[in-house]
């Protein structure tokens, strides 16, 4: 297994800050003018076209300008009045990896520092430099280590990188990873989320508080990897300077009132949190825990199913049962959370045949049916306990054909209301002892599915992304399905080709809610409009965001809830979307926003 120390990313904001556009004025003017003269079909300039332009105007006569340098240059030239240019249009045309923000929001992932883990999974790596289950070579883990796992530094620097390479940063989905969030000490949780919000608020308002950070989590990278030693023992020893049993340093704690102030500022900030995600285990959820993560501002929970077989869970020392997964799903759905499940084929005691059967339960059983899904085939990592089973010939990685059959069969079963966000985890091939090392396995599986006469129909496969859109051609469809707590209605705006432009999730519970605030309410769990992220207040005839689709989805959900006899519609709004929902008649409660449903038409806005 690789033990190299993560190096500074070539896209680190500090590198961008060293670039002086003025000293490259002649070349930058030539590049900008050539790009601006190209026919504008609304798409990103083709890579081969962009490369040809850059070759004609090399940096210092020998290398290419990076996208960040081109963007910095265009903004400089525009500010100096040296070129008549729609700078932001130019940025959108040369943007790196535009797919990142074509789902309507800009995802920003941060990692907590390593803590002792409550699990004992045999497949989990033993990289004590990272939170449990993560590896130091993963891109997000490298960024976290470079910033000593500080939430403010991770968030601020990632925002700077996004802006430097042309991505909008007005609407941020904060994704907090790092083992089992629910097992971390509450003061640390409150502090971590507050500091993420501080960074978002500061960055949007042009403030830079990075110089005030006292980096207190150094040294994890020096621990190395020691096969045979227990992860928790090493982490406890390293964190022994913490307070009591919490392993939290003195400045890694905050009060709820401090977080609420940061939330309040973010409601109207230029850069807002439109979603907050944490990850946890089924056996660490309770009514009190659900209430706590909601108070943090959380709107989505990543939860590790891994398997829906008790025998497989037991063999892998997962530490929870299928019954606990069912209970966790009911708690989360009753509280309105979006549910992002993880499922792992090729675990110890599983077979290709049993995995295909297991996946059938994922959407065949009303108690599960997640909104989003990651499919993570088990990878063999040298420091994992699974190595012992492999060396005794008690476990083997699936052959390519076996894995292809499992994944393509699974993709065929995913319903249109679910989004498969990832197939294959982003693990370096150097870290995988044996087994699949192909990172484009989703594409391979989709091609196999087409060869079989099928097609993916999940949300991700149908997103409009950057496509131009004829608003008049959209049709609002709805479909119902049963869940463990009642009926779910999935609304979607689709094109004649069944491409999806926006959707909403409405839960109509048939059982009493676990949280008092939600009793008697229908639950609006999500409203999402696809297309490239649009800044707040910006309208465009070519984009789906800010064109009234969201309001139509909200009103459709309200009408359906009223028809079903509910007197009130409650929404699990993100901090940065509270103002948007207030425009449509929602008022603030303790943890949710609510809209009273009078006679038809009486409550419409």
Q: What pLDDT, on a 0 to 100 scale, did the predictor assign at position 30?
A: 81
Q: What pLDDT, on a 0 to 100 scale, did the predictor assign at position 244?
A: 43
CATH class of 299-462: alpha beta
Mean pLDDT of 293-321: 97
Q: What pLDDT, on a 0 to 100 scale, did the predictor assign at position 547?
A: 60
pLDDT higher than 60, residue 68: yes
Q: For the chain, where do the domains classified as CATH 3.30.750.200 start and end?
A: 299-462
Mean pLDDT of 360-372: 98
Mean pLDDT of 556-576: 98
At 369-385, the pLDDT tens digits run: 999 999 999 999 999 99
Most confidently predicted of 9-18, 20-29, 251-260: 251-260
Q: What kind and span of H or E run contains 279?
A: strand 272-280
pLDDT higher than 80, residue 81: no
CA distance 73 to 83: 11
Chain length of the chain: 605
- Judge whether 303 and 281 are in contact, CB under 8 Å: yes
What's the pLDDT band for 67 if we cut at 50, 70, 90?
confident
pLDDT higher than 90, residue 3: no
What's the pLDDT band for 5 if we cut at 50, 70, 90?
very low
pLDDT higher than 50, residue 7: no
Mean pLDDT of the chain: 87
Mean pLDDT of 411-424: 96
Q: What pLDDT, on a 0 to 100 scale, did the predictor assign at position 227?
A: 63
pLDDT higher than 70, residue 246: no
Superfamily (CATH) of domain 463-596 = Gcn5-related N-acetyltransferase (GNAT) (3.40.630.30)
Residues near 196 by Cβ (< 8 Å), separated by ≥ 6?
110, 151, 152, 155, 174, 176, 273
DSSP 131: S
* Integer CA distances (angstroms), 431 to 229, 348, 399, 434, 446, in order: 18, 19, 18, 9, 26
What is the CB-side half-sphere exposure of residue 171 using CA atoms within 13 A?
Answer: 25
Q: What pLDDT, on a 0 to 100 scale, did the predictor assign at position 49?
A: 77
Using the CB atoms, write b or e for 202-236: b if 16+ within 10 Å. Answer: bbbeeeeebeebeeebeebbebebeeeeebbebbe
Which residues are registered as beta bridge partners of 500? 463, 494
| Range of lowest pLDDT (323-327, 546-550, 601-605) | 601-605
What's the pLDDT band for 88 if we cut at 50, 70, 90?
low
pLDDT higher than 60, residue 50: yes
Q: What pLDDT, on a 0 to 100 scale, did the predictor assign at position 229?
A: 73
Pair of tokens at residue 335 = 């509280």
pLDDT above 90 as % of the chain = 64
pLDDT higher than 70, residue 43: no
CA distance 597 to 558: 7
Mean pLDDT of 247-275: 94
Q: For the chain, where do the domains classified as CATH 3.40.630.30 start and end?
A: 463-596
Q: What is the pTM of this model?
A: 0.85
What's the pLDDT band for 167 if we cut at 50, 70, 90?
confident
E strands along 336-474, which residues?
Answer: 338-343, 372-375, 419-423
At 440-481, the pLDDT tens digits run: 999 999 999 999 999 999 999 999 876 677 888 999 999 999
């Amino acid at each position: 297994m690789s033990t190299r120390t993560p190096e500074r990313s070539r896209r680190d904001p500090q590198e961008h800050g060293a670039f002086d556009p003025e000293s490259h004025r002649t070349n930058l003017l030539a590049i900008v003018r050539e790009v601006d003269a190209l026919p504008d079909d609304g798409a990103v300039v083709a890579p081969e076209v962009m490369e040809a332009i850059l070759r004609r105007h090399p940096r210092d006569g020998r290398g290419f300008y990076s996208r960040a340098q081109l963007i910095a240059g265009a903004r400089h030239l525009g500010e100096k009045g040296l070129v008549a240019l729609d700078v932001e249009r130019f940025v959108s045309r040369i943007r790196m990896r535009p797919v990142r923000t074509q789902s309507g929001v800009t995802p920003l992932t941060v990692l907590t520092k390593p803590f002792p883990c409550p699990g004992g999974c045999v497949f989990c790596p033993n990289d004590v430099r990272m939170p449990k289950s993560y590896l130091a070579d993963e891109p997000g883990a490298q960024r976290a280590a470079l910033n000593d796992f500080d939430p403010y530094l991770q968030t601020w620097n990632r925002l700077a990188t996004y802006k430097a390479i042309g991505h909008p940063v007005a609407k941020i989905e904060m994704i907090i990873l790092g083992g089992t969030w629910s097992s971390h000490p509450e003061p640390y949780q409150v502090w971590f989320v507050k500091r993420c919000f501080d960074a978002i608020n500061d960055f949007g308002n042009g403030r830079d508080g990075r110089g005030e950070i006292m980096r207190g989590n150094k040294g994890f990278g020096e621990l190395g990897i020691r096969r045979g030693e227990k992860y928790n023992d090493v982490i406890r020893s390293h964190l022994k300077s913490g307070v009591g049993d919490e392993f939290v340093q003195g400045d890694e704690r905050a009060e709820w009132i401090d977080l609420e102030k940061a939330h309040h500022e973010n409601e109207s900030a230029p850069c807002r949190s439109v979603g907050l995600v944490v990850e946890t285990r089924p056996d660490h959820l309770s009514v009190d825990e659900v209430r706590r993560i909601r108070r943090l501002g959380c709107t989505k929970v990543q939860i590790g199913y891994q398997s829906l077989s008790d025998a497989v869970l037991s063999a892998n020392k997962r530490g929870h049962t299928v019954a606990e997964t069912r209970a966790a799903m009911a708690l989360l759905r009753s509280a309105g959370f979006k549910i992002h499940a993880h499922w792992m084929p090729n675990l110890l005691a599983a077979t290709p045949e049993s995995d295909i059967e297991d996946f059938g339960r994922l959407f065949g059983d009303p108690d599960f049916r997640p909104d989003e899904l990651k499919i993570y085939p088990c990878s063999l990592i040298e420091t994992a306990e699974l190595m012992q089973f492999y060396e005794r010939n008690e476990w083997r990685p699936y052959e390519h054909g076996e894995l292809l059959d499992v994944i393509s069969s699974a993709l065929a079963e995913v319903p249109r209301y679910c989004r498969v966000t990832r197939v294959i985890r982003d693990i370096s091939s150097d870290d995988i002892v044996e087994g699949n090392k192909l990172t484009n396995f989703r594409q391979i599986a989709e091609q196999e599915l087409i060869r079989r006469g099928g097609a993916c129909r999940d949300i991700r496969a149908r997103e409009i992304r950057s496509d131009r859109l004829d608003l008049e051609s959209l049709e609002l469809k709805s479909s119902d399905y049963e869940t463990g707590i009642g009926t779910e209605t999935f609304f979607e705006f689709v094109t004649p080709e069944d491409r999806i432009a926006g959707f909403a999730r409405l839960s109509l519970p048939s059982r009493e809610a676990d949280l008092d605030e939600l009793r008697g309410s229908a639950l609006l769990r999500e409203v999402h409009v696809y297309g490239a992220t649009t800044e707040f207040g910006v309208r465009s005839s070519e984009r789906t965001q800010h064109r009234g689709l969201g309001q139509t989805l909200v009103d459709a959900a309200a009408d359906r809830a009223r028809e079903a006899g509910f007197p009130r519609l409650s929404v699990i709004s993100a901090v940065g979307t509270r103002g948007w929902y207030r425009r449509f008649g929602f008022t603030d409660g303790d943890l949710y926003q609510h809209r009273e449903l009078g006679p038809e038409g009486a409550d419409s806005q």
